[in-house]
């Protein structure tokens, strides 16, 4: 504290030289305490400074007793120091001044001040973030509530006609759906906004049948079935065809959980490792030789918690064995370690987006802050993403193989990769594979809506397959959301939505692209 002049640009030497004349008055250091003036002072300035010093010292009772002896170097910062009487006695002596020690103390004081300020700033930011989050969630809640109200109003009016079309809402109807009408007014618009901003009517027309399907599932699928992560696709499709009746949100939510497990998130990335650590614990329970691939496919299930339904398949690409294809399915029923949260959320968001058409009313899809965060990430993701709904499972594939090659390069603008890097996913740098996968995959029984989406690598059924590859698109998720919105909007809309892909660089794929 007494050493401020020293810490302020090495003025100490000069000050020391000026001290001898004033040393008797314990004032030489007073000149050094002037933080705001660089010019030399005259005696009047010194007096003024002493006045300030005395004033400041009144605030610090700890040094009051040493006021005269301490040479008045108190700058107020002394309030936070732990100076002891012994320290000041050293100053009194004026003989054994431990410059280094005092400098250290001054620096400590400064650091404490900075730390205190940082903490205060941090607290302010936290409060701001909390408030912003609350506001956002509140708006989202209101929006969903409004949409639900409208949906309820229209539901009664359309229920009969929908019942007639229930069966037609199954897979065959949605097969030809294409990512044509992306209708993205702006790349900056969030995916959620796009999804929720579609016309209520279109939302209703889709949601009514979706809800019926979900209710059917709730009735016919027992909760314990959810533990069977991969489930039985055929049963699902059969359930789809069943009749149903609604029983409220709880049923919808339960049904959604029962159905969402079918959605998959597949990640393609280059890796030499047999299996990549993704933050979760897996146990291999099977291995099979898949058709058309000389490399065996390994089956893993999550063992972080008893009964966790999440499972994953690991298989090398037949064309390029350096590419590891990891497919996740299921919903963790346990807390994830922090390291696993981010990418898990990303995959959740991907799956949620994939299924958002059927989970519009599900807050997991819209309101979950984690998903929102992940969606934001996805929005900025430039990784190759492919939506696939080749029967029986809708799958969204994140192709990181290209990004992996230059993950550390200056041209890597894949936020997903960058995020993973910043998040400490060291292995990502080695393999290009995000480590955190396997979070909730929400899927609704209306998977048929995506049945027309197709993995490019797989054989395509002409007129029934669509893939949405979005290379190097900084707004991939937004475009994806818009594409899904287009799908959700119904067959009546998809035909007249052939225009405008806006500025999203979204490659819409349809029959002509296959």
Partner DNA sequence: CGGATTTGACCAGCGC
Partner DNA sequence: GCGCTGGTCAAATCCG
The 8-class DSSP code of residue 226 comes to G
CB of 297 to DNA, least distance (A): 6
443 counts as binding DNA under rule CB under 7 A = no
**Between residues 364 and 464, which has the closer beta carbon with respect to DNA?**
464
Size of the residue set binding DNA (CB under 7 A): 29
Binding mask 122-161 for DNA (x = CB under 7 A): ----------------------------------------
Give the tokens for residue 471.
Answer: 């290379």
Q: How many CA atoms lie within 13 A of 345 on its CB side?
A: 23
CB of 427 to DNA, least distance (A): 16
**Between residues 292 and 409, which has the closer beta carbon with respect to DNA?**
292
> Which 378-407 residues touch DNA, going by CB under 7 A?
391-392
Residue 203 near residue 485, CB atoms below 8 Å? no
**Between residues 25 and 238, which has the closer beta carbon with respect to DNA?**
238
229 counts as binding DNA under rule CB under 7 A = yes
CB of 189 to DNA, least distance (A): 35
> Which 276-335 residues touch DNA, going by CB under 7 A?
281-292, 297-299, 303, 311, 313
| Residues contacting 32, CB < 8 A, separation 6+ | 4, 5, 6, 11, 12, 15, 73
Token match 């940082």: residue? Answer: 118
CB of 341 to DNA, least distance (A): 21
Element (H, E) at 398: strand 395-399
**Between residues 444 and 447, which has the closer beta carbon with respect to DNA?**
447
**Between residues 61 and 234, which has the closer beta carbon with respect to DNA?**
234
CB of 172 to DNA, least distance (A): 12
**Between residues 9 and 274, which has the closer beta carbon with respect to DNA?**
274
Q: In this chain, which stretch among 228-236, 335-343, 396-404, 489-497 interacts with DNA, using CB under 7 A?
A: 228-236
CB of 507 to DNA, least distance (A): 27
CB of 331 to DNA, least distance (A): 14
CB of 274 to DNA, least distance (A): 8
Spatial separation of the C-alpha atoms in residues 99 and 12, rounded to whole Å: 10
Per CB under 7 A, the list member of 230, 328, 425, 450 interacting with DNA is 230
55 counts as binding DNA under rule CB under 7 A = no
**Between residues 145 and 241, which has the closer beta carbon with respect to DNA?**
241
Q: Which residues does residue 385 pair with via DSSP β-bridges, in sequence order?
A: 398
**Between residues 50 and 220, which has the closer beta carbon with respect to DNA?**
220
Residue 494 near residue 164, CB atoms below 8 Å? no
CA distances from 157 to 126, 145, 167, 324, 507 (A): 47, 19, 19, 50, 38
Token match 């229209």: residue? Answer: 154
Residue 416 near residue 428, CB atoms below 8 Å? no
> Which 492-511 residues touch DNA, going by CB under 7 A?
none
> Which 231-260 residues touch DNA, going by CB under 7 A?
231-235, 237
**Between residues 192 and 329, which has the closer beta carbon with respect to DNA?**
329
Spatial separation of the C-alpha atoms in residues 449 and 13, rounded to whole Å: 79
* CB under 8 A, 24+ apart: contacts of 451-454: 451/171, 451/174, 451/175, 451/389, 451/390, 451/391, 451/394, 452/174, 452/175, 452/176, 452/177, 452/178, 452/389, 453/177, 453/387, 453/388, 453/389, 453/390, 453/394, 454/388, 454/389, 454/390, 454/514
> Contact residues for DNA (CB under 7 A)?
228-235, 237, 281-292, 297-299, 303, 311, 313, 391-392
């Amino acid at each position: 504290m007494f050493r401020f002049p020293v810490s302020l640009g090495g003025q100490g030497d000069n000050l020391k030289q000026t001290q001898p004349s004033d040393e008797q008055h314990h004032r030489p250091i007073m000149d050094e305490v002037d933080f705001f003036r660089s010019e030399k002072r005259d005696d009047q300035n010194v007096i003024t400074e002493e006045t300030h010093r005395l004033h400041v010292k009144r605030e610090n009772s700890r040094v009051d007793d040493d006021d005269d002896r301490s040479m008045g170097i108190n700058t107020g910062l002394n309030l936070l120091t732990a100076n002891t009487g012994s320290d000041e006695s050293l100053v009194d002596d004026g003989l054994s001044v431990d410059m280094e020690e005092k400098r250290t103390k001054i620096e400590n004081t400064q650091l404490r001040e900075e730390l205190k300020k940082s903490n205060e700033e941090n607290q302010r930011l936290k409060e701001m973030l909390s408030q912003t989050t609350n506001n956002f969630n509140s708006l989202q809640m209101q929006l969903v509530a409004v949409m639900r109200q409208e949906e309820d109003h229209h539901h009664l009016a359309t229920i009969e006609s929908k019942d007639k079309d229930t069966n037609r809402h199954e897979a065959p109807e949605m097969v030809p759906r294409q990512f044509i009408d992306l209708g993205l007014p702006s790349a900056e618009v969030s995916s959620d906004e796009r999804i929720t901003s579609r016309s209520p009517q279109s939302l209703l027309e889709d949601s009514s049948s979706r809800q019926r399907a979900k209710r059917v599932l709730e009735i016919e699928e027992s909760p314990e079935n959810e533990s069977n992560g991969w489930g039985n696709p055929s049963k699902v499709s059969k359930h789809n065809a069943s009749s149903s009746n609604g029983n409220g949100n709880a049923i919808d939510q339960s049904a959604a959980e029962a159905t969402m497990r079918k959605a998959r998130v597949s990640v393609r990335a280059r890796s030499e490792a047999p299996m990549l650590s993704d933050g979760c614990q897996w146990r291999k329970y099977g291995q099979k030789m898949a058709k058309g691939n000389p490399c065996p496919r390994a089956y893993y299930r999550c063992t972080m918690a008893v009964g966790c339904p999440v499972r994953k398949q690991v298989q090398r690409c037949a064309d390029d064995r350096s590419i590891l294809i990891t497919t996740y399915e299921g919903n963790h029923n346990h807390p994830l370690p922090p390291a696993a949260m981010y990418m898990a959320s990303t995959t959740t968001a991907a799956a949620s987006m994939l299924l958002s058409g059927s989970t519009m009313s599900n807050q997991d899809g819209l309101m979950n802050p984690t998903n929102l965060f992940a969606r934001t990430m996805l929005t900025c993701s430039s990784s190759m993403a492919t939506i696939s709904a080749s029967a029986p499972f809708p799958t969204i594939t994140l192709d990181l193989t290209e990004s992996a090659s230059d993950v550390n390069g200056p041209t890597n603008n894949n936020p997903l990769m960058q995020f993973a890097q910043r998040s400490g996913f060291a292995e990502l740098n080695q393999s290009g594979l995000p480590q955190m996968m396997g979070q909730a995959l929400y899927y609704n029984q209306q998977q048929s809506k995506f049945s027309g989406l197709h993995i490019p690598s797989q054989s395509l059924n002409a007129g029934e397959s669509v893939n949405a590859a979005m290379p190097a698109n900084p707004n991939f998720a937004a475009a994806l959301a818009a594409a899904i919105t287009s799908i959700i909007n119904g067959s009546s809309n998809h035909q007249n939505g052939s225009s405008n892909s806006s500025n999203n660089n979204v490659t819409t794929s349809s029959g002509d692209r296959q």
